[in-house]
Copies of this chain bind each other. A is one copy, B any other.
Amino acid sequence: MFDPTAVAVVGASQTKGKVGYEAMVNAAEFDGPAYPVNPSGSGTMFGEPFVDSVADVDDAVDLALLCVPGPAVPDVLDECGAAGVGAAVVYASGFAEAGEDGERLQATVVERANEHGIALLGPNTSGFVVPESSLRCSFASGVDEIPTGNTAVVAQSGGVALVLAFQTRRQGRGVSATVGLGNRANVGFVEAIEYFDGHEGTDAIVLHVEGTDDGRALVETCRDVDTPVVAYKVGQSDVGEFAESHTGALTGDHALYEAGFAQYGVPTVDATDHLLDAAAALGDSPTPDGPNVGVVTAQAGPGIIITDRIQRAGGVLPELTAETRDRVGDILPGITYADNPVDTGRPMPAFGEIVTAVAEDDNVDVVLVYELFEQALGFPVEALDGLAERVDKPVLFATEGIEADLAEDRAALEAAGVPVFETPERAAEAAAVLARYARSHGEGVDAEVSADV
């Protein structure tokens, strides 16, 4: 599915705006060949001639993108099976989300897919995108601009898969893949999570969950994989009927999901931006040993917001050791506030040294730095370069200012492996996710978690 050598677009069309056209446009950019399949088609698309059936493609096709109406799907799957196609995406809706007839049709589709050993994504999805190989199995526009990153997005909704991918782009990040599961015919959360756990380019997995029939398998999978997983369960209030009409799933008991994720060591968040921030923090950082966050800020106001937010979200602001407090006092006599958070009052040349002192504090498991950009001083890039690796702790950075002014320094920080965040609250939420993750995955807690389960 996610690493094919050749792709066929079944129902490819030369009519702009049609799913079969948009999907072909996106698929044509794939590093490998993309073949248009449509008995009504004539001529070529992107240099490849139309053929009547997947079976007529000379090449061995691994993945078929089905841009055909729902009722046509079972027959196309038979053709795919006969041609040895191992994976298919079904974009059409009108399946389990659309009442009894749709449910019957979906059952047929799943049966055929299983019979032929076809992994089937969807139906009722916008598909998926793997930017690194320019594999864009989606009919949405703009997916060619999604950059490569190290977060795999696994969303129940195809729309949300795109929302998240476009958001990572706005944050200057990207995705290793973004996948919309849709109705989860035979590729669901479990299959996707397991795949991306073994995927070289993926360092964190984020889940958008509306509801699933087998919550237990989901949380067990999250626990068993090595890659950090963060979940966003929607539907705390009653959105039942509308949600069911969407991907054919009930949103279920929200509290039960939250408790299940917590018990199995999966941090949860409550917004799309927080989800992606959490992935950046987890994917780009060493695993923290515990929930103790050391905060260094150049401005008190954002520092208070951060402190408040970390504490409310399950993190702890420990006292710094006497040694660190002395060290901070030596570096910056008359410092505004030398406990945790350390507040330097303004950005200053010694800022990097202060961050280093806090990062080296034995009481601190995670470091979060906040600094409004000041042109004359910039960010302490040199001090932060390699710091996380050396102290084996996550070091997060948050800032605000004029984008063009701070772009160079921000890029330098990110190149040095320091995740950068945009608002005090979002940075604090990311630090708190690290704190919560550490409670189940930090040094020496493995035994405890297993016992809980």
Which B residues are CB-close (under 8 A) to A308? 234-237, 239
Q: Say yes or no: is A159 at the interface (Cβ < 8 Å to chain B).
A: yes
Are A304's CB and B236's CB within 8 A? no
| Segment of A58-66, A242-250, A354-362, A387-395 engaged in the interface with chain B | A242-250
| Segment of A6-14, A283-291, A372-380, A440-448 engaged in the interface with chain B | A372-380
Contact size range, A:
35 or more
Q: Which of A131-181 contact B (CB under 8 A)?
A: 140-142, 145, 155-163, 166-167, 169-170, 180
Are B245's CB and A208's CB within 8 A? no
Which B residues are CB-close (under 8 A) to A237? 307-308, 311-312
Which B residues are CB-close (under 8 A) to A16? 376
Q: Say yes or no: is A82 at the interface (Cβ < 8 Å to chain B).
A: no
Least distance between A69 CB and chain B CB atoms (Å): 12
Least distance between A17 CB and chain B CB atoms (Å): 5
How far is A155 from B299 in the complex, measured between Cα atoms in Å? 13
Which B residues are CB-close (under 8 A) to A337? 242, 245-246
Given contacts A141-B376, A273-B425, A336-B245, contact A159 B300 (CB under 8 A): yes
| Segment of A28-36, A192-200, A396-404, A408-416 engaged in the interface with chain B | A396-404
| Segment of A47-55, A258-266, A338-346 engaged in the interface with chain B | A338-346
Given contacts A236-B312, A372-B163, contact A242 B155 (CB under 8 A): no
Q: Say yes or no: is A405 at the interface (Cβ < 8 Å to chain B).
A: yes
Given contacts A308-B236, A423-B273, contact A401 B142 (CB under 8 A): yes
How far is A140 from B373 in the complex, measured between Cα atoms in Å? 9
Least distance between A223 CB and chain B CB atoms (Å): 26
Given contacts A158-B301, A373-B141, contact A170 B403 (CB under 8 A): yes
Least distance between A277 CB and chain B CB atoms (Å): 12
Which B residues are CB-close (under 8 A) to A235? 304, 308
Q: Say yes or no: is A238 at the interface (Cβ < 8 Å to chain B).
A: yes
Which B residues are CB-close (under 8 A) to A402? 142, 145, 166, 169
Least distance between A131 CB and chain B CB atoms (Å): 13
Given contacts A16-B376, A272-B425, A424-B272, contact A159 B239 (CB under 8 A): no
Least distance between A429 CB and chain B CB atoms (Å): 9
- Nearest B residue to A139 via CB reads B346
Which B residues are CB-close (under 8 A) to A272? 305, 423-425
- Nearest B residue to A313 via CB reads B237
Least distance between A380 CB and chain B CB atoms (Å): 16
Least distance between A163 CB and chain B CB atoms (Å): 5
Return the contact of A304 from the options B158, B210, B301, B375 (Cβ within 8 A): B210
Return the contact of A140 from the options B167, B270, B312, B374 (Cβ within 8 A): B374
Which B residues are CB-close (under 8 A) to A86? none
Are A376's CB and B17's CB within 8 A? yes
Which B residues are CB-close (under 8 A) to A374? 140-141
Q: Say yes or no: is A122 at the interface (Cβ < 8 Å to chain B).
A: no
Are B336's CB and A305's CB within 8 A? no
How far is A336 from B155 in the complex, measured between Cα atoms in Å? 20
Are A163's CB and B400's CB within 8 A? yes
How far is A158 from B336 in the complex, measured between Cα atoms in Å? 15
| CB 8 Å contact bits of A326-339 with B (1 = contact, 0 = none) | 00000000001101
Chain A residues engaging chain B, CB cutoff 8 angstroms: 16-17, 22, 93, 140-142, 145, 155-163, 166-167, 169-170, 180, 208, 210, 234-239, 241-243, 245-247, 251, 270-273, 299-305, 307-308, 311-312, 336-337, 339, 341, 343, 345, 372-377, 400-403, 405, 422-426
Extra pairs beyond A160-B299, A242-B300 (14, CB < 8 Å): A17-B376, A22-B376, A142-B375, A142-B402, A156-B301, A160-B302, A169-B402, A236-B308, A242-B304, A242-B337, A242-B341, A246-B301, A271-B423, A272-B423
Q: Which 7 A-B pairs give the minimum distances between C-beta atoms?
A: A157-B301, A159-B299, A160-B301, A159-B301, A141-B375, A237-B311, A246-B300
- 12 pairs across A/B with beta carbons < 8 Å? A93-B336, A141-B375, A145-B405, A159-B302, A162-B299, A163-B372, A163-B423, A238-B311, A242-B303, A242-B307, A246-B337, A247-B300
